[in-house]
Amino acid sequence: MTEREQRRTRPREFDLVLFGATGFTGRLVAEYLVKKRPALRWALAGRSLGKLERVRDELSALEPSAKALPLLAGDSLDTAAMEGLARRTRVVCTTAGPYALYGSALLGACAEQGTDYCDLTGETHWVREMIDAHHARAAETGARIVPSCGFDSIPSDLGVLLLHEQLAARGGRLAEAHYRVLRMKGGASGGTIASGLLAAERMKDPAVRRVLANPYALSPEGAPPIPGQEDWLRPRRAPETGRWLAPFFMAAVNTRVVRRSNALLDYAYGREFRYDESVDMGRGLPGLARAAATSAGMALSGAVRFAPVRKLAERFLPAPGEGPSREERESGSFEIELLGVGTAGERVRARVGANQDPGYGATSWMLGESALCLAEDALPERGGLLTPASCMGMKLVERLRAAGMTFQAEAG
């Protein structure tokens, strides 16, 4: 029996461990799991046993069986503790960010132990570091390591996969795809703000800036770069609709994930595949004005000095562990349209959305179902630093549809 077979078939105490369960998003994912799978062999994990006990008590009010949930205390910076945790479970789902500060030991332990893994990171520079450090070892042990399983970057990654599937069913092949945010309403948590501040601080490092500026930062070595795929910050008009577009602040993360998916799927979308993301601001002069204001705001945010921004954030924005109320999350929503063009000029259209706050309500669904997909579904036996589309694909789409999200595709 190979090392990979030994690690993948070794009996594990748990099917799933949720690490970071005491944080704001971690509590939401725990609530989702306890409602969805009360009988799952799973455990809550984090740094503080006392905080874990309080979370378990809160979950017990929703589902009495949660009172028996095991609690695993361990420091994310303790490599030995993270290795011990990874050995005990088949899947780790972690919400403990910023991942560049608190995620490396746990991801590395999962890669070493053949343990599947998913997280919520939007930290492209960190994912690149993890690919370089652990992709080869995870491929050897069979560990399916899947970062970015929330609003970063499931709507993008699975939305493009939907376009591909729609065209492939008609005998076609995708040549380009355009992601347009039509509507988005939601709040921010302290953890997300902390991750953003860390990313801004790391931008002072020239090596980090080079990674973030590279449109193919997450693609395998040797992936063919396509000219014209650089990020853009100016308003522009969509030739297919005539509507004004502004740059989307998450595009620098999502586009890299989609391009990595294409490479890992053996260039199913083609080696000349082109992809971009933007926000639809509407038609005419009002649309142009909104696009110009959004573009100017993004440019300004990149030019301001970092230290004053951190001081303002620490004073006025939510601290880690805080975030939108239940009412705010349930009143949030998002709707995204993806327009695809085939190599023969065929057109396809997809819609992705949810009637939940995108960053927290819907993200807890996306991460929760990603963890369950890894734990319960028959997936391709491939290991490495993967993406939602290349690892879970349409099985995850089906799960998210059943959870209440919109994933639709049609000729168009």
pLDDT tens readout for residues 43-100: 999 999 999 999 999 999 999 999 999 999 999 999 999 999 999 999 999 999 999 9
Residue 96 backbone phi and psi in degrees, to 5: -85, 90
| Segment 340-368 mean pLDDT | 94
Taking a C-beta distance cutoff of 8 angstroms, is the pair 141, 111 a contact? yes
For 334-350, write each residue's pLDDT tens digit.
999 999 999 999 999 99
- pTM given for the model: 0.91
Tell me, what DSSP letter sits at residue 128? H
Residue 327: partners with Cβ closer than 8 Å, 6 or more residues away: none
Taking residue 301's Cβ as centre, other Cβ atoms within 10 Å add up to: 12
pLDDT greater than 80 at residue 183: yes
What is the model's pLDDT at position 316? Answer: 43
| Structural tokens at position 301 | 């945010």
Taking a C-beta distance cutoff of 8 angstroms, is the pair 67, 56 a contact? yes
Please report, for residues 178, 214, 375, the alpha-carbon distance to residue 240 in angstroms, rounded to integers and kept in the order given: 10, 27, 41
For 305-326, write each residue's pLDDT tens digit.
444 444 544 444 455 556 777 7
What is the model's pLDDT at position 242? Answer: 87
For 215, counting Cβ atoms within 10 Å of its Cβ (0-12 exposed, 13-18 middle, 19+ buried), the class is: buried
